[in-house]
Amino acid sequence: MAGYYSISPIVRSRSATPAYMDIWNGGGAGGQSIAPRISSPNISTSKMVTTSNTRTFYNPATQNLGKRFAPNDWHSSNAAHYSLSQRERSTAADVRADSWRAVKEMDNRTRNRQTENTKRLGERVQDIAFWKSELNNEIGAMQNEIANLSEYKRVLERAYADTANP
């Protein structure tokens, strides 16, 4: 059972960085660690407190009232939180810059590919138009040849028919 001297699980505020602050080791009463813990499976969430809920407590060993944390503990906690928030801001700025760079890079890559593909499609359309006109020219030439051959056939058939009659 947890008593006044046990470590109270401190829940950190909304932070994406799962940091464990080692600078607090040995800073608590009786050489105990007061480092914040994310969550423990054997401690219910109703017993978890944040650093803003620190209260005075009665210490039966000394029979006096005292604050939960010493000023040195508060200063080291404050420095650690300040350092952590500075690192998180720096990391967020780096992620934001990397994301912006990636967006710009993909935009340029997409634009270049679209330009290349548009150029290729234009060349292909020109090739298709050229071959269509070539085929139409050949079809016209074949139709003329068929018309000429039909005329020669008709002339030859008439000449053959004239040779049959003396």
Q: What is the DSSP string of 37-86?
A: -S--TTS-GGG-B-GGG---EEETTTTEEE-SS-HHHHHHHHHHHHHHHH
pLDDT in tens, 47-69: 444 455 555 655 566 665 556 66
* Distance, CA of 162 to CA of 166 (rounded, Å): 8
Q: Residue 2: helix, strand or coil by DSSP?
A: coil
Residue 10 to residue 38: CA distance in whole angstroms: 7
Q: Check if the beta carbon of residue 88 is closer than 8 Å to that of residue 15.
A: yes
pLDDT at 76 over 60: yes
The model's pTM is 0.42
Q: HSE (CB half, 13 Å, CA atoms) of 131? A: 5
Q: Quick one: which of 41, 19, 67 has its CA closest to 9?
A: 41
**pLDDT band at 154; cut points 50, 70, 90:** very high
- Domain locations in the chain? 1-68
| CA 69 – CA 51 distance, rounded (Å) | 9
Q: What percent of the chain shows pLDDT beyond 70? A: 58
- Write the pLDDT tens digit of every residue in 87-132: 999 999 999 999 999 999 999 999 999 999 999 999 999 999 999 9
Instruction: Give the rounded distance of the alpha carbon of 125 from its chain centre.
Output: 37
